[in-house]
Amino acid sequence: MSGEPVLTGALLMLKSSAKQLLTLPVRTILLLALAMFATEHEARAYTDPGSGALIWQMAVAGLVGVSFYFRRITAWFKNRKGPKV
């Protein structure tokens, strides 16, 4: 996006017109999403009570796994800098 920088408060933002942001593909996607959420259809689906617990269990396991991996990466960067003074 090309635009001139504009100082607004403490932030420097690029000035761009709405026409640049809402190109034809973006407009099409937004209109399709709006039509999809605005229309109402019968779901014809069943979710048993254990499904919510399974989703929470997967989310927590994912967060714990990411935290262990994140600790490993941060430890690698700390060791790479050299010993603490």
> ∠ CA(51), CA(53), CA(56), 5° rounding?
110
Domain definitions of the chain by residue range:
1-38, 49-85
What are 6's two structure tokens?
């504009």
For 39-50, write each residue's pLDDT tens digit.
Answer: 877 877 777 878
Position with higher pLDDT, 42 vs 8: 42
Instruction: Tell me: pLDDT of 3 over 80.
Output: no
- Helix, strand and coil percent figures for the chain, each rounded to 5: 60, 10, 30
pLDDT score at 48: 80
pLDDT score at 59: 95
pLDDT score at 64: 92
